[in-house]
């Protein structure tokens, strides 16, 4: 929101509209389209915050929006003093708060009041609902605890079992340097591997595989002495934090 002085210098000392005449030597403040659009949008935005749509045939929409605002954010001037309850929310207040979390209903049965909520009850409900939301978000994240691909991993968050797999090249009659697992283990149960295509002319049994060096690394080995191979490996173990 800005005064008309933001668009023209033809204003009073306080930045307000002024009377004037061109023939009298003091021009009046012009009505700028920018200022009118600004006022229009300020009003329209407030109305649309509390009403579903603007209505060209309804000249009470601003009033209705203000009334809706008051219902959504009521002052706590009215208490259930007749029942000795000074920390109560009206139904409108509680419905507004709980609409952010859930459609719940707690009544003051002991006082025979069916349309009020105690402040303590509302706070407890909001805390409980936030816990449900946090748990739901965590469960959604659990579904994504995997990196799928030729080299990847998968975690069962209910048990902490971590499964990893991959493949890599190993030259003839060689053991590779340690290679990092896609994600670290806390403890490796087993790590094994093999090559897919055998070489019938190799005299030492075509042995190739994988083994864990520690909880974070593995190595590939290839005992064939005539050809390099691609070793496909798999490892199982316990994930960190379990």
pLDDT tens figures, 158-217:
899 999 999 999 998 899 999 999 999 999 999 999 887 666 555 555 688 999 999 999
Higher pLDDT, 227 or 178: 178
238 touches 161 (CB < 8 A): yes
Alpha-carbon distance of 92 to 95, in angstroms, equals 5
Residue 33 CB-density burial (10 A; 0-12 exposed, 13-18 middle, 19+ buried): exposed
Question: Encoding tokens for residue 125?
Answer: 């409900």
Write 122-128 long-range contacts (CB < 8 A, 24+). Answer: 122/89, 122/94, 122/97, 122/98, 125/98, 125/101, 126/97, 126/98, 126/100, 126/101
pLDDT tens figures, 32-64:
899 899 999 999 999 999 898 999 999 999 999
Q: What is the set of domains in the chain, with CATH numbers?
A: 4-72 (no CATH), 81-141 (no CATH), 147-238 (2.60.40.3940)
Higher pLDDT, 106 or 45: 45
Does this model's pTM top 0.85? My answer is no
């Amino acid at each position: 929101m800005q005064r008309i002085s933001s668009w023209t210098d033809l204003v009073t000392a306080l930045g307000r509209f002024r009377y004037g005449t061109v023939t009298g030597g003091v021009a009046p403040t012009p009505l700028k389209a920018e200022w009118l659009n600004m006022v229009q949008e300020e009003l329209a935005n407030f109305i649309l915050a509390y009403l579903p749509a603007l209505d060209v045939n309804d000249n009470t929409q601003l009033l209705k929006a203000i009334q809706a605002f008051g219902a959504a954010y009521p002052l706590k001037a009215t208490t259930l003093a007749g029942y000795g309850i000074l920390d109560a929310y009206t139904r409108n207040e509680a419905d507004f708060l709980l609409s952010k979390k859930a459609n719940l209903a707690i009544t003051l049965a002991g006082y025979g009041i069916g349309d009020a909520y105690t402040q303590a009850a509302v706070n407890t409900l909001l805390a409980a609902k936030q816990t449900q939301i946090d748990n739901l978000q965590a469960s959604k994240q659990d579904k994504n605890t995997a990196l799928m691909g030729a080299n990847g991993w998968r975690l069962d968050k209910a048990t902490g079992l971590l499964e990893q797999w991959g493949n890599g090249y190993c030259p003839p009659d060689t053991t590779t340097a340690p290679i990092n697992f896609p994600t670290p283990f806390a403890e490796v149960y087993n790590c094994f591997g093999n090559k897919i295509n055998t070489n019938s002319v190799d005299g030492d049994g075509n042995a190739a595989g994988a083994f864990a060096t520690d909880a974070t690394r593995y190595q590939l080995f290839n005992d064939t002495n005539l050809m390099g191979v691609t070793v496909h490996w798999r490892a199982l173990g316990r994930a960190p934090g379990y």
